[in-house]
Structure 1
Amino acid sequence: MKNTNHDQQLHNDVIETLRETSRTFFIPISLLVTELRETVASAYLCMRAIDEIEDHPDLEPALKSKLLHNIGDVLQSAQYNKETFIKMFKPFENELPEVTLRLYDWISFCPDEIRVKVVESTAIMASGMGDWVDKDWQIQSEADLDQYTYTVAGLVGVMLTDIWKWYDGTEADKELGIGFGRGLQAVNILRNYKEDAERGVSFFPDSYSLDDMFDYAHKNLSRADEYVASIETETIVNFCQIPLSLAHGTLKALVDGREKMTRDEVNETVNKVIKKTS
């Protein structure tokens, strides 16, 4: 696969697509040093490409599952090129967003030395999400919840941990990295559970009360705090602190009976981290 890291147009496309697809991660990624910024941006877009398929409101579950499993199989085989994905996505080119249709571009933008790890995590996520589509997202036990949150968010922590090690040898704990992803996802579940219920979906295990899910979120955010505290590289810490601080703030707002943080609270939280980098 040709390394296109220095293709200015692709670079611009990566940054612009990131800006359009992620309010949570655009700012922290933009604070990273250049080499990490490009790597984390392209890695994030790889996973966002997969996530858009799972969340697509109009694709039939059988088609979602087939497409996700096909992507997982192709990525694990390492036998693919741009034409592979053009052909795979052709039947869905009018339904899928650009971030998904350009999956190969995001993969090709990753530096050669870390690309295999990014692809590995993306492949596991794609296959895992396909499995959850097949299960109709039925979460019955805490073990199911752990597996679901690992698939859709914990793998992000695994991938980031691999990227930190590639960048400067940072040896962060992958299990705590999984907690980082799980904590953010648990807060999302709590923030959206009423809306999810309206469409007949619940990510709460059968035995879970609302308090149990709050406990699950607190537990994993504590692991996320440990994860960040173990890292010494300032640019990595700053990246992690924004989504983690926002998750803590959102959880506090939910505990207080509010739906979300106020705009002023969000701006204050983000600005605290930004000031540390200036």
Structure 2
Amino acid sequence: MEILRSLGIRGGIYRLIRYRMGAGRPGVQRRDSMSEGLQTCYRYLNETGRSFAAIIQTLDGELRDAVCICYVIIRALDTVEDDMTISLETKIPVLRNFHTFLYDPEWRFTESKDKCKRLLEDFPTISREFRNLATVYQEVIADTCRKIGAGLAKFLEKKIESLEDWDEYGHYASGLVEIVFSHLFSASKLEDTIVSQDTRLSSSMGLLLQKTNIIRDYLEDQLVGREFWPKEVWSKYAMKLSDFSDPENIVPAAQCLNELITNALQHVPGSFTFLSQHKNQSVFNFFAVPFVMAIATLGACYNNQQVFKGVVKIRRDQVMTLMKDATNLQATKAIVLQYVEEIHHKIPPSDPSSCETQQVILSIRKLCVSSESSASRHLYSGIYISRAMLLAAVGCLYLYAAWKV
């Protein structure tokens, strides 16, 4: 593996090879040194985190365990909010007091019917591993759970009416998650303190991810009675948000969809600035991969009627390519540029938000174009180096064959 690094094959490709070979997976590499409870937390991470789990498991040192436990805890908190079978009378106090349960060895919740209910039923295992973390990690995670729980409880009693509400909800649901991760990275000393100081930027990244999920999950949320699209936008196109699932309303539904995607794309510049602050390779990948996956998802959803009929997902091979390529800021900008250009080509001329979408894309293009040129120079340079290495190798084989003769 040192040969790969010395040849400049860093970040994505190297880590992808590690995934294939099992490195970075606690069950393969660190099982003997892990407690049974910590192994359980990683199992829950792999069951609920999907591709995100692989990114967490490439983090360096003790930070990996702290982020794993943090993710599983927030996932359990999120499960309480998501489960529509739990009454508000039960749900709201649980959300508001969730941070205190981290210090209660006996607390568990057995009333959930959600697919992630095991996280709540086995919460004593998770909370025990939380209490085994360094105090600095515990304080950051507990304080964030307090804020998230209070925010989510607020929006159980309040509908998302305006775009300001949409931003506020997104801050509680995902912005604070990006902030807590930034604080953990700073606390670990893998990143400078500046990473955790400008919470506006980390929240911007979180808003982009959360809005992407909300946009993509329209039908899933409708089927269980959840509504997260802001009324300020959808009311311009329908009497009720559920009207978009009617095939007769597919044109206004797509127009509303496009306006929301345009709003989400406005968080891209702040996300670029946020990514530029991270110097540690594993931490950069941690944030960059979900970011480009969100952009790819927005590209797939834009003006796509399938959002109202089923699930729109990016292909698995596409996910692997994004994980492989998003290893530095220049490459990440090149990826984003590719998808926003795809959106640009799909803008319907008659779309009410077409002008705004074009303006947002133009601003993103300006941020990316110089980086794209730089990335292209690096790419061509790499091609020439590879050709030179190939010629050198062929030459060596020729000389060896001649010597054998």
Q: Which residue is 1:22 aligned to?
A: 49
- With over 3 angstroms needed to count, the CA separation of the structure-2 counterparts of 1:198 and 1:46, relative to structure 1, is closer
- Tell me if the contact between 1:238 and 1:273 (Cα under 8 Å) persists in the aligned partners: yes
Q: Residue 265 and residue 230 in structure 1: after superposition, are their counterparts in 2 closer, same or farther (change >3 A)?
A: same
Letter in 2 for 1:61: L
Letter in 2 for 1:213: L
Q: Which of 163, 174, 177 is residue 156 of structure 1 equivalent to? A: 177
Say whether residues 1:241 and 2:288 are aligned partners.
yes
| Conservation of the 8 A alpha-carbon contact between 1:145 and 1:204 | yes
Conservation of the 8 A alpha-carbon contact between 2:83 and 2:112: no
**For the structure 1 residues 61 and 81, does the alpha-carbon distance in structure 2 shift closer, same or farther, using more than 3 Å as the test?**
closer
Computing the radius of gyration from Cα coordinates, the structure with the larger value is 2
Partner of 2:323: 270
Identity of aligned residues (%): 23
TM-superposed deviation, 1:206: 2.0
Per-residue deviation, 1:199: 4.3
SS at match of 2:83: coil
- Root-mean-square deviation (CA), in Å? 2.5
* Cα distance, 1:93 vs structure 2: 7.6
How far does residue 7 in structure 1 lie from its aligned partner after superposition? Answer: 5.4
CA contact (8 A) 2:45 2:72 kept: yes
For residue 221 of structure 1, report the CA deviation from its aligned partner.
3.2
Q: Distance between the aligned counterparts of 2:266 and 2:50, measured in 1?
A: 25
Q: Distance in 2 between matches of 1:215 and 1:109?
A: 43
**SS of alignment partner, residue 232 of structure 2:** coil
TM-score (norm 1): 0.84
Contact 1:43 1:106 in 2 (8 A): no
Q: Distance in 2 between matches of 1:207 and 1:267?
A: 37
Moved more, 92-101 or 202-211: 92-101
Q: Distance in 1 between matches of 2:259 and 2:266?
A: 10
Unpaired runs of at least 5, structure 2: 1-32, 234-255, 307-311, 332-405
Query: Given the alignment, which residue of 35, 46, 61 partners 2:73?
Result: 46
User: Which structure has more RCO (C-alpha within 8 Å, separation ≥ 6)?
Assistant: 1
**Aligned ranges 1:6-155 → 2 under 5 Å:** 8-72=35-99, 74=100, 80-83=103-106, 85-86=107-108, 89=109, 92=111, 97-101=117-121, 102=123, 103-135=126-158, 138-155=159-176
* Structure 1 stretch displaced more, 164-173 or 119-128: 164-173
Q: What is the deviation of 1:22?
A: 1.0
* Residue type at the aligned position of 1:246: M
- Of stretches 235-244 and 193-202 in structure 1, the one that deviates more from structure 2 is 193-202
SS at match of 1:265: helix
Which of 186, 192, 201 aligns to 1:165? It is 186
Provide structure 1 residue ranges, at least 5 long, that are not aligned to the other structure.
1-5
